[in-house]
Each structure stands twice: as C-alpha cells, then as structure tokens.
Amino acid sequence: MRHNSPTTAGNFARRLVVRILRPLRGGAQSCCTLSDRSLLGAASLRPYLAVIVLFAAGTAHAESSEPAPLASHALLLDIARAGNQLVAVGDHGHVLLSADNGKTWSQSITPTRTMLTGVAFADALHGWAVGHDGVILATHDGGKTWTHQDDGKSLDTIFLDVLFLDAQHGFVVGAYGKFLVTTDGGKTWTPGKTAAEEVHYNRISAGPTGELYLAGESGTVLVSADHGQSWTRCEVPYEGSLFGVLAFDDASLVAYGLRGHILQSPDHGAIWEPRNSELKVLIMAGCKMKNGTVVLAGQGGNFFVSRDAGHTFQSWQPTGFGTSVADLLEAHDGSIVTVGEAGAIRVKLP
C-alpha cells in the first residue's frame, strides 16, 4: 500500500504530520508526487521539524497545558458544537470554549501539551479530544475540565479524528489504519475492523440517515450502514488523499481533498463525478449549512461554495483572509467559524 503524503503551507499542520513520522518508524518513504511537493514552501519545513522534536521527546501524561492569552490566535485544528457552545482544539493541548458564536474564547487547561487534532461532543456535556502521542481526553462538563482516557504508553500513535454517536458509542481514527471503538463512553477502547488496508484515516463523519463515512489517503472513502461494524469501500476516481465526506438527505455525497479535488456522488457512493476546482489547493474542511449551502475551505484562505448540493462550486476568498483553514462549522447566528493556522476566525458568506 502506497501512503500518500498530504501537503500544506506555512504552519498549517492539522492531520498531515504523519508523513514526517514514517522514516522515523522505519516504514516506506513518502511517495507524494513532485507536483504535490511543490505546494510546500521552504518556510513550511519549520513546523514539521518542530513536530519531529516533540515526537521524539514527548510523553503523553507528563505535563498539563499552560495558560495562553493568545491561544485563540494560534494553531487550532478542529472545532465542534457542545450545546450552545463551540469548542476548538489545537497545538500545545489547547482547548478553547466560546459561548458567543466564536466572537470571544476562553481557555480550558488540559492534562497534556501534545497537539490535539480532533474534538467531538455527543451532547452539551460529554466530549472527547484526540491527538498525537495516542492521547484521548474526555470531558463531562462541556469542556471545562478534561481527563485522560488513554494509558499514556502509545507515544507512536497519532489520532486524527473522533466521532461519538451518543455518550457511550464512539470512534477514534488515525494514522496507519488506526481505528478504535468504544461502547462505554471511552472507558475501554478496542480495535475495530475496516475494509481498507493500513491507510491514514483523516476524518470520520456521520450522515443524516445514520451512515458513517471514513475519508483517507489513496482515494479512500468507506461507508458503514451498521454503526461501524462493517465497511464498504467506494470506488472513487482519485488516488490522492481525501479529507472528508459530506452527506445529504437525498443520498448524495461530496468528498474533498488534495489539489482542489472535489468529488460528488448522486447515489450514496456508487458513482462519483469530479467537481474539481480551478484552484489546485489543499481542501481540508467542509460543512453543510442549515440552508443547504455547502462550504469547503483549506489552503491559503480559499473557500469553495455550493448552493446546489455540491453539483457546482464557486471559489471565494474573504477580503483580508489569507490564512489556511483546518476546520469550520456554522455557528448559531449563521456565520461560519473557521479554525486553522491563525486560530479562530469568523466569516460571513457573500
């Protein structure tokens, strides 16, 4: 199995650090194409080198995060709703809470300084955050306090996303085919089985009718109709990394990934058609708004907006917005809240 090396720019690092670790673990070397590598500037090497140092020296339970007044302007990698609050996670174990649709943020101290890459809430109180060093954190008070659910021994594990269907049933996915399942709120985690080889799973998501979706490298899109017990691979006409799947009520899907690739399926993944952008940039995040609008975003502050369920997309860049986006969601006031290399930023669609 070839492991693609997703690319990025500047300090944008969300789920892409796994490619640096492959030589350290003695596995196959990165095999992204020369054109993919061209997306990286010289400056982008600095954060990766820093990650290598942290990986070599870090211990998951060694330290707690530190108060950081500018944390909302630093690297954040995922965002989720927790009732009326928003919760964002990122570098140095940062967890931020917002009760005003992302206008202001407060920091919660966590028992780790490792990079957190994913966050999910089952309801307003019960949430989980995952990241490097095999870290799994849990909260039972809406993100105010956090405790470890990992054993602190899996320092070579990188978790990239987390999803909970309710307060008991959840999934954690990550690099090298990592796929864990819990049925007791994270007290115990067991390896699950998927239909793919040992690829990096970038994101796990749920559709409106109960299906689950896994997106990953090598054109991986997996679908589960039985709450993750079994998975079926979709035949996608793209072999690069994909970073997410959005599902719609009419059984249509939208997948997005490297170099401006957008794929749309009208029939729950049986057939896929390209909706590629003219901008060949990494597309890292996507959300479906309450009014049906689809918003994708990624490298360089580039957004892609569809108002016809993903059949067509228009590129858009907010005035003065040049920072890469790692994730986004619609706030309760209708604004889009993004997180990425410059922290949390609110935008309004044109």
What's the pLDDT tens digit per position in 1-39? Answer: 434 433 333 334 444 443 333 333 333 333 333 233 233
**Domain for residue 1, yes or no?**
no
**Domain for residue 3, yes or no?**
no
Give the pLDDT band (50/70/90) at residue 268.
Answer: confident
**Predicted pLDDT of residue 350:** 85
User: What is the domain-level CATH number for residue 259?
Assistant: 2.130.10.10
What's the pLDDT tens digit per position in 213-247? Answer: 999 999 999 999 999 999 999 999 999 999 999 99
Q: Which DSSP helix (H) or strand (E) runs through 220?
A: strand 220-224
**Predicted pLDDT of residue 234:** 95
What tokens does 329 get? 């969601």
Rg of the chain's alpha carbons, rounded to an integer? 18
pTM: 0.85
Number of domains in the chain: 1
Range of the domain at 202: 18-347
Q: Is the dihedral of CA 217, 325, 277, 296 positive or negative?
A: positive
Is residue 310 within 8 A of residue 68, CB to CB? The reply is no
**Domain for residue 306, yes or no?**
yes
> What are the helix (H) ranges across 213-306?
none
Calculate the alpha carbon distances from 269 to 31, 83, 232, 258, 296 in Å: 27, 31, 10, 19, 19
**Domain for residue 13, yes or no?**
no
Report, as an integer, the average pLDDT of 171-184. Answer: 97
**Domain for residue 295, yes or no?**
yes
**Domain for residue 264, yes or no?**
yes
CA distance 269 to 311: 14
**Domain for residue 8, yes or no?**
no
**Domain for residue 211, yes or no?**
yes
How many CB atoms lie under 10 A from the CB of residue 95?
27
